[in-house]
Amino acid sequence: MRSATATVTAMENGNGDGNGNGNGHHSPEPKLNEWSVTRKLRVTQQGTYTSNYYINGEPCTLTDLHEQLHRLHIYPEGYNVVLQGDVTSIISMNPRERREIIDELAGVGAFDRKIHQAKDKLDAVKEHEEKFRIVEKELIVQRDRLAQDRLKAEKYQRLRQELQDKSQWESVLVWRMQQQQRDRITAGINQDIAAITQINQELDTLNVQIVQSTTILDELNRRVKALGEEEQLALQSTLATREAELRAFQRQAQDLDWTAQETTTQIDRTNRELHDHQQQISQFATTRQQAQLELGARQAECKAAQERLDRSRADADAIASASDESVQEQAALRQKSRLCCDRSSQSAPNRPDCRSDRASFSRTSSRSRPA
């Protein structure tokens, strides 16, 4: 970084008048004060530069320096030194040009320049105000859109919660129905087992009766051989009766066997149905667990969406607060500009052409004023 320093020294008398060129007319009585301006220029490696200004060794801004130079009547186009030909040119000027010279010497030109700067700043503030209004409208539209999205999200969340509740209740009801159906099937199986046990007992009783009847028949046959013809006929009649009873018992035993087979088949079928229902109950339990896991994930997503919505609201509120502060600042600047205009009108009440003269001089000074 390179730096350079330049210093300008002016002499100021006791009543505040000064001369930037050192050739002003001074009376020997007032005390002369030395007044110096220093500018330090720093050039960076990128080619840019920064300037620091000092008045009598004290740091100051460029605006403070300009105000001090105006107070001392030191201007780039100042009339502190009258050169050859200036008197002739002043005499040949029209009244407006001479009025501009008088305003410049009286310090009114600086005031006009300040008014022009205030108007430029007011125009810039108005432009910023328009931009902020556009931003405000966009924020309002975005806020309304976010409000609609929030209503839709709340409605979606409510409907999804209702759907999940109803799905859970449906799973619970199906599970209860399966439990009741399993209980009924279990009760039917128990009844069938009791019926099979009873049939087996009856079958055992009939087998015992058949054995007893066979024993009695054999005994009767032995007695028939030993008895006579009449007794043999009576025994044959009794034997026929016993055989009829035996056939009846055999048919009843066959019916009981057939019933036992049917009952066994029905028990097998019932066991298969019970196994299928148990598998369905397991599937419903797995589905219920998955639904609970999905419900937890959806609740987490809903919470994250609510947090994003809260952050968006906070950002919108912050932008709205910044817009309000900017509007207040613009109103203060307007009030300040209005006060400046009122003061300018009060300071020159007897000059009807002051505004036009000031406007033309402002245009001339704005073209000739250094950066």
pLDDT tens-digit readout, 335-350: 877 777 677 666 554 4
And the tokens for 356? 């036009």
- Per-residue model confidence as pLDDT tens digits over 178-212: 899 989 998 989 998 888 888 888 888 888 888 88
CA nearest neighbour of 257 among 197, 203, 321: 203
Question: Is residue 70 within 8 Å of 62, Cβ to Cβ?
Answer: no
How many CB atoms within 10 Å of residue 292?
13
**Rounded to whole angstroms, how far apart are CA atoms 335 and 107?**
24
Give the residue ranges of DSSP H helices in the chain: 62-71, 86-92, 95-106, 108-226, 229-347, 354-368
Q: What is the mean pLDDT of residues 208-228?
A: 80
CATH of region 137-327, choose from 3.40.50.300, 2.30.300.10, 3.40.50.2000, 1.10.287.1700:
1.10.287.1700
Check residues 55 and 361 and name the one with the higher pLDDT.
Answer: 55
Q: What is the mean pLDDT of residues 167-171?
A: 90
Q: How much is the mean pLDDT over the chain?
A: 77
CA nearest neighbour of 5 among 57, 47, 48, 46: 57
Q: What is the mean pLDDT of residues 288-307?
A: 81
Q: Over 70: is that where the pLDDT of 161 sits?
A: yes
pLDDT confidence tier of residue 230, bands split at 50, 70 and 90: low
Strand order in the sheet with 33-43: 18-19, 2-12, 33-43, 49-55, 58-60
And the tokens for 343? 């003061």
Which residues are within 8 A (CB) of 24 and not within 5 positions of it... i.e. 6 or more apart? 11, 17, 18, 80
- Per-residue model confidence as pLDDT tens digits over 258-270: 888 888 888 888 8
Q: Is 47 left (phi over 0), alpha (psi -120 to 50) or beta?
A: left
Question: Is residue 175 within 8 Å of 285, Cβ to Cβ?
Answer: yes
- Per-residue model confidence as pLDDT tens digits over 71-111: 776 765 555 545 556 667 777 888 888 787 777 766 677 78
287, amino acid identity: T
pLDDT confidence tier of residue 136, bands split at 50, 70 and 90: very high
Q: Where do the domains of the chain lie?
A: 1-74, 137-327
